[in-house]
Amino acid sequence: MTISLWETQGRQWFLLSEAESISKNSGHEKANCELTRGMILLCQQKYDQAHTCLKDLKDYLHSIGLQWELLCATLRLAECLLRQQQPFEAYATSMI
């Protein structure tokens, strides 16, 4: 079980997750777990960690063919790059 509590820009966030180990989950469950983790890292302004998480997830999703989740990961990765002042890399990453 994962419990996370954090605050960004005056907002408090709470996440409770009861997902099993990633290696035991299906592709959809892994994707949802990692998308959530990537979004949390973005909200916490941990852009390097978010970039690594989302880049690995994007590669994984591309290999197994989950298109909706791939789109979500790509958009979050582009947001991460834009927040790091890397617009050209953000544009390049959006080319699925």
Class of domain 26-93: mainly alpha
Per-residue pLDDT, 96: 58
Cα distances from 61 to residues 11, 44, 54, 74, 76, in angstroms, run 31, 24, 10, 10, 14
83 vs 96 pLDDT, higher one: 83
Nearest CA-CA partner of 65 in 95, 87, 20, 96: 96
Per-residue pLDDT, 83: 92
Please give the structure tokens belonging to residue 65: 């063919």
63 vs 95 pLDDT, higher one: 63
Per-residue pLDDT, 21: 47
Provide the β-strand partners of residue 8. Answer: 11
Please give the structure tokens belonging to residue 47: 């852009």
Per-residue pLDDT, 58: 93
| Whether residue 31 has pLDDT greater than 60 | yes
The domain segmentation of the chain, as residue ranges, is 26-93
Does the predicted model carry a pTM greater than 0.75?
A: no
| Whether residue 19 has pLDDT greater than 90 | no
| Whether residue 18 has pLDDT greater than 60 | no
Per-residue pLDDT, 28: 84
76, 35 contact by CB (below 8 A): yes
